[in-house]
A and B are shown apart, each in its own frame.
Chain A
Amino acid sequence: MIGRNRSIGRDLRRLLGREAVLDDVATIEAVSRDATPDFSGRPDVVVKPRDTTDVVSVVDYARRRGIPIVPRGAGSNLCAGTVPIRGGIVMSTARMRSIREVAPGEMLAVVEPGVTTAELDESAAAHGLMFAPDPSSRSVATVGGNVATCAGGLRGLKYGNTRHHILGLEVVIGTGEVIRTGGRLAKDVAGYDLTRLMVGSEGTLGVITEVTAALVPKPASSGYGVAYFDDLSAAGAAVDGIITSGIVPATLEFLDSVCISVVEEYAQLGLDTDAGALLLFGDDGHPDAVADTVERMRYLCSASPGAISAVVAPDDRTASALLHARRCSLPALARHGSHTVLEDVSVPRQLIPEAVRRIRAIGHRHDVLIGVFGHAGDGNLHPTVVIDGADSRARERCRLALDEIFRVALDLGGSITGEHGVGAAKLGYLEEQLGSAQVELMRRVKAAFDPCGVMNPGKVGS
């Protein structure tokens, strides 16, 4: 192993120069994990290409030698998609950080993959525009990583997720060829939609070296409100009421009773801890329209059976406290044990209450704390299991509980992942959801892009 490491480092230094290649122990340890618990793998070397030419050199070298390449942005993904489980080369996009262009007239931006999602959004904001996908990790996660995982966020119902906002890509595929998919056009149906295929491909087909992102007008204002219900079924009925009334709000987030109490304990926001469910609703757009929509949502919640209370946040301070309640659900839960698994499943929206009921029963059966929060508007749930990591039996119970949660999602016609991805963590469940024909087709698609099988092996398509 050491021998291979040394020779890869030496060869890559010859190709890209000394400063682009790192293989010291601190670097190897640093990139041996991402944000997924329980997964790690040491690469042989980390390479930091400057441009597409560098990426091509590395891919050509790796495919000839049969060495795995794992593309890595910020390493913030939650499905072990960036863990180098078979060693090899971690290709960091840390030096490809240029925002090449923001074209307000065409409502698009062209960026290198290492730019963070927040940076892209900020540069769009300077022109009165925004990049709509807003995963919670937006301040650290890179655009390249968000494209590779098709990241979601809190505004999915109204704005969709990453796949709806990517116009074109430059990709170095596993053959070493450079392809440019899509482009700057709003309408373009020439051939297969390889842009969509690349979005969510998790680094298994190629390395994304440039992203053309669609931008939307930045809303002039936003408004929020909060409603409490006896239980999640009542909250679900209110969400139905909102959506069937013709409102497509930017924000519809829920917390279950476990989350309400841990968040209140952690952040003291004055939440109603007797309630069975909390619904955070909000919208963005023209101030008058926002005020009207938020008030209508408040009324629909309060008139819904099982409602305890519903109020509109009177000012920004109250609104940001409400948003904080949703955002700090994970940290608040994480403080209840040394080992936290943030999961991600999605179900048809109307089945959220049923899914949460079953997940709660699983938690009781396996004696693990599970809080559930998520996106009530789009059916994406984040069951979060918290245990004492030093307790090996608790770890086993956690594993069993998660296994059952995935089965619940599939049983309800849902998905094993709404926005975090498959990676190494959920590969074993993929066939159960998609069937063998589709999984086999994915392998053939991967083989077409990556005949040598070096692009992020052990993940989707392997």
Chain B
Amino acid sequence: MMTGQTAGVPFSEDKLATCISCGFCLPACPTYAMTGDEKSSPRGRINLMRAIQRGDIDIDSAASRDQSSECLGCRACEPVCPAGVEYGHLLEEWRDNSWKGRRTPAAAALARRGAEFGSAIRWLGRRRGAARTRRPSGTDPRHSLMLGCAERVLFPQVSRAAAHVEPNLDVDDNQGCCGALHAHNGDARRGAELARELGDRLPEVIVTTSGGCSAHLAAILGRDRVLEFSEYLLRRPTETDDLADTRRRLNRLEVDGRPARIGLQDSCHARNALGIIEPPRDLIRAIGEFVEVPGAAGCCGAAGTYSLMRPRESKDILARRVEAVVAAEVDILAVLNPGCYRQMASGLKRAKSRIQVLHVAELAELALSEPQQTTL
């Protein structure tokens, strides 16, 4: 992960130099939309990084710490960047070099430490009813389900649904953390180490139900080893894999005698880092009436530990998303990531909305079961 970095300075010089300061990232950035201050934009932050790199500003200064934590890390700036700046990488370097030891923000330290309690997470996951170990006759290549740390504890029904929908999926409930929480919270080295350990433990293709984990695993292990769950469900059937054509097995969901209106909240990392845009939409189209919620690509403000670290900003960003989802009059809001799941569900609940939040794996499970009429 740390390739290209020059000794003595925090940032990879070549990656910092890529930015041509065109400002195309400004309209894509949720924090810039919130404040209208250029320092809260990717270009503004890169200018700050450059001042840090030159030694004009201390990386431990209040300005640096404020901006390294105000950024959501959603990477919405990357797909719109004409110069191909690897902003997510620069952000990891920033946090790596400043969130050290006692200077680590409490929420980041908590996340990093929490993810190290593998045995507790495994125990909790089993207690809460997350998917259990199994090794079906399988497919070629083999596909293993990744069980995320937060998801096992908070939303055990997601992995259960995923395993139920695809009986060919291997499950190993003794797996550890993928390291995304470390990488996003100032410890890229440990993050990469954990990803490689998980890559060794789960052979061949890893199927994930979390956008953040997908992007991190793909960055360390290679894109070809990772499939987001909707990508996996919609993949082309192979000769040895007769169950793959999931679309045929899905029933259409109805609400009050009409097709269910289903929106999507994109996962930032799935969309911006891996370019996963259509698969979840196609999956929803197979199940109900897909509704493109305006701004679906914009971060919901969960952003890993962000909602703990910057609660005020997180709430402001969430409020805009909740407003858009409510205005779209959907029955169900599908999500791809446990962080977005928790954030959107709590936001909609606070807004006294009856819109139900479901992970795409749960949505697929619902569409598999008869009868088609569902009550929400």
Which residue numbers of A lie inside 8 Å of B, CB to CB? 22, 24-27, 29-37, 46, 48, 74-76, 92, 94-95, 116, 137, 139-141, 328, 330-331, 334-335, 338-340, 389-390
Task: List 17 A-B residue pairs with CB atoms under 8 Å apart, sorted by A's residue number.
Answer: A25-B57, A25-B61, A26-B64, A27-B37, A29-B39, A29-B57, A30-B44, A30-B48, A32-B47, A76-B24, A94-B37, A116-B27, A139-B24, A334-B20, A339-B17, A389-B17, A390-B13
Taking the nearest CB of chain A, how far is it from the CB of B59, in angstroms? 12
User: How far is A25 from B49 in the complex, measured between Cα atoms in Å?
Assistant: 12
Of all A-B residue pairs in the complex, the 10 with the closest CB atoms, nearest first, are A30-B44, A331-B82, A26-B39, A30-B38, A338-B17, A94-B36, A76-B23, A30-B39, A26-B63, A29-B47
In the complex with contacts A22-B37, A30-B48, A137-B84 CB distance below 8 A: no
Cβ B24 vs Cβ A140 within 8 A: yes
User: How far is A334 from B19 in the complex, measured between Cα atoms in Å?
Assistant: 10
- Interface membership of B197, Cβ < 8 A: no
Residues of A within 8 A of B13 (CB): 390
Cβ B82 vs Cβ A334 within 8 A: yes
Residues of A within 8 A of B21 (CB): 33-37, 75
Which residue numbers of B lie inside 8 Å of A, CB to CB? 13-14, 17-18, 20-24, 26-27, 36-39, 41, 43-45, 47-48, 50-51, 57, 61, 63-64, 66-67, 82-84
User: How far is A31 from B26 in the complex, measured between Cα atoms in Å?
Assistant: 13
Taking the nearest CB of chain A, how far is it from the CB of B73, in angstroms? 17
User: How far is A452 from B22 in the complex, measured between Cα atoms in Å?
Assistant: 32
User: How far is A81 from B22 in the complex, measured between Cα atoms in Å?
Assistant: 13
Cβ A35 vs Cβ B22 within 8 A: yes
Residues of B within 8 A of A340 (CB): 20, 83
Cβ B51 vs Cβ A29 within 8 A: yes
Cβ B17 vs Cβ A25 within 8 A: no
User: How far is A26 from B48 in the complex, measured between Cα atoms in Å?
Assistant: 6
User: How far is A36 from B57 in the complex, measured between Cα atoms in Å?
Assistant: 22
Cβ B22 vs Cβ A137 within 8 A: yes
User: How far is A140 from B63 in the complex, measured between Cα atoms in Å?
Assistant: 25
In the complex with contacts A331-B82, A331-B83, A390-B13, A27-B39 CB distance below 8 A: yes
Taking the nearest CB of chain A, how far is it from the CB of B34, in angstroms? 12
**Of B17, B20, B41, B83, which is in contact with the most chain A CB atoms at under 10 Å from its CB?**
B20
Instruction: Pick from A92, A141, A331, A389: contact of B38, CB below 8 A.
Output: A92
Cβ B82 vs Cβ A330 within 8 A: yes
Taking the nearest CB of chain B, how far is it from the CB of A266, in angstroms? 9
Extra inter-chain contacts (8) besides given A24-B39, A35-B20, A140-B27, CB under 8 Å = A27-B44, A30-B43, A34-B23, A94-B36, A94-B38, A139-B27, A330-B82, A334-B18
Closest to A33 in B: B21
Residues of B within 8 A of A94 (CB): 36-38
In the complex with contacts A26-B66, A29-B39, A389-B17, A140-B26 CB distance below 8 A: yes
User: How far is A22 from B38 in the complex, measured between Cα atoms in Å?
Assistant: 11
Closest to B56 in A: A29
User: How far is A75 from B63 in the complex, measured between Cα atoms in Å?
Assistant: 21
Cβ B44 vs Cβ A29 within 8 A: yes
Taking the nearest CB of chain A, how far is it from the CB of B66, in angstroms? 7
